Amino acid sequence: MKTDLLSFTSKGIYCAAADVYLDPWRPVDKAIISHAHADHSRYGNKKYIAHHHSVPVMKHRLGAVNVQGVSWNEPFSVNGIQFTLYPAGHIIGSSLIKVTHKGEVALFTGDYKLEDDGISTPLEMQRCHTLITECTFGLPIFRWKPQQEVFAEIESWWSFNRQHAFTSVIYAYSLGKAQRLLHNLKADHGPILVHPVIAAVNESLSSIASFGHVETLSADKNPIDYPGAMLILPPSGREAKYLKKWGELKTASASGWMATRGNRRRRNVDRGFVISDHCDFDALNTCIKYSEADKVICTHGFTDIYSKYLREIGFNARTEYVEFEEEEIEESKDSMV
């Protein structure tokens, strides 16, 4: 009987044939990492393998870890088993992980999105026999507008705020969303200042991407010098004491979760801009159909409802327990500076 290339264990997704884990949530000897977000790239592994572009942020967040950088589309071998990384389009360096053995192909998506955000290398979806997919936004209520429309909404909000002498504050995850905003927002409406946590991530990515002229927020910055400013903060940055001197603040959150009114209310922000680094419902369906997988395993997100939907449209789909988290939880682990 054929055994699965990948199995789910108490430490993480495991390839027994290669004795390697994918994004393990407990310390292991050898881990292949899909991307540098904290719930996928954790402390304590003896050896890490990840795409070259993930390496600087992993070192920034994890310290002096033993990490081997590999390229997309270039197979490498672990104990005789072939692995290949492909761009996942989620954040800089994010990768799909493909395992190939004796004609059998398994693909683990990590986190992924279909839309080209202009800064992460766009997704290169793969065909496979077994697909392990996230489904963070696997409900039909989650459908994203093209990002140009959302950035236009953000810019007109910022322009309005400037005309009324308000300071614009936008909450965005420090790795991924913040850089996507910086890359796509034009600084015509005023200066942009970022929280020190975001500045540190930008610095770690400086050999890979540049983010224009951006200053770092600090207690000694005088708001008079920054009329019409936009401040980009991680969600955990809202308590920073120095915000008080920036006058009347207009706040917004940039997240896929802003698609629902309840989440906007819970976040206590003036505006919610619906922009996500994950696939929306339609993109998940598109990618899963493209994969032609015989077997689909849904991990984090709306797993039960979404896998039921997949079964209804003819897929052999089920769920498995993982310890990946929603980004807002991982974000709160970033230190508040």
Residues that bind Zn ion (CB under 5 A): 37, 111
Q: Tokens 């789909």 map to which residue?
A: 317
Q: Rank residues 37 and 195 by Cβ distance to Zn ion and give the closer one.
A: 37
| Eight-state DSSP code of residue 262 | H
Task: Write down the least CB distance from residue 203 to Zn ion, Å.
Answer: 20
- Helix (H) / strand (E) element for 78: namely strand 76-78
Q: Tokens 């490498």 map to which residue?
A: 76
8 A C-beta contact, residue 54 and residue 94: yes
Q: What angle do CA 246, 247, 252 make, to 5 degrees?
A: 75
Q: Rank residues 30 and 37 by Cβ distance to Zn ion and give the closer one.
A: 37
Q: Rank residues 111 and 331 by Cβ distance to Zn ion and give the closer one.
A: 111
Task: Write down the least CB distance from residue 58 to Zn ion, Å.
Answer: 13
What is the C-alpha separation between 168 and 252, in angstroms, rounded? Answer: 8
What is the C-alpha separation between 148 and 284, in angstroms, rounded? Answer: 20
8 A C-beta contact, residue 267 and residue 171: yes
Q: Rank residues 41 and 84 by Cβ distance to Zn ion and give the closer one.
A: 41
Task: Write down the least CB distance from residue 23 to Zn ion, Å.
Answer: 10
Q: Rank residues 111 and 334 by Cβ distance to Zn ion and give the closer one.
A: 111
What is the C-alpha separation between 337 and 335, in angstroms, rounded? Answer: 6
Q: Rank residues 111 and 117 by Cβ distance to Zn ion and give the closer one.
A: 111
Task: Write down the least CB distance from residue 174 to Zn ion, Å.
Answer: 12
Task: Write down the least CB distance from residue 321 to Zn ion, Å.
Answer: 18
Dihedral sign, Cα of residue 52, residue 53, residue 54, residue 57: positive
Q: Looking at the chain, how many residues does it have?
A: 337
Task: Write down the least CB distance from residue 327 to Zn ion, Å.
Answer: 6
